[in-house]
Amino acid sequence: MALQDKYLEETAKALSNESYSLPSHVAISNQDSSVGVTANSLTNEIGSRLASNSNRNDDTVSYEAVRSSTDVVDTTNGDTIEEIGFFDASSGGDMLTFDDIPSIEQTIDFDVDITKNVTPERK
């Protein structure tokens, strides 16, 4: 899991009562590109970005989305999902967080639930 520098900047804006952005959409990639914390996109996004919801439970914020079986691009072989990024816009915008994940082969037979939990910790 990686929080992009942009996520930390937006959190600081929220704490100082400035206008800020939260993740509102999720994108998937079929390529594990191990992007750095300053990157602003995933390599080889597939399909359209999905709207996401956010919920807070105590000190944990969860960002959630569902990729429906109808979102699968390669309906014959399925889509390989290896990376997930949360963005503040349906296209373009800023990537606020991303994860490299173990490869998932999504077919038209099932949906994929995507959840990202962020919990601040004292160090």
- pLDDT, residue 65, reads 95
User: What are 78-115's pLDDT values in tens digits?
Assistant: 999 999 999 999 999 999 998 989 999 999 999 999 99
**pLDDT of amino acid 86:** 94
CB 2 within 8 A of CB 85: no
What are the pLDDT digits (tens) for 29-65? Answer: 998 876 778 888 888 899 999 999 998 888 899 999 9
How far is 1 from 91, CA to CA, in rounded Å? 22
Per-residue pLDDT band for 16 (boundaries 50, 70, 90) equals very high
**What band does 1 get if pLDDT is binned at 50, 70 and 90?**
low
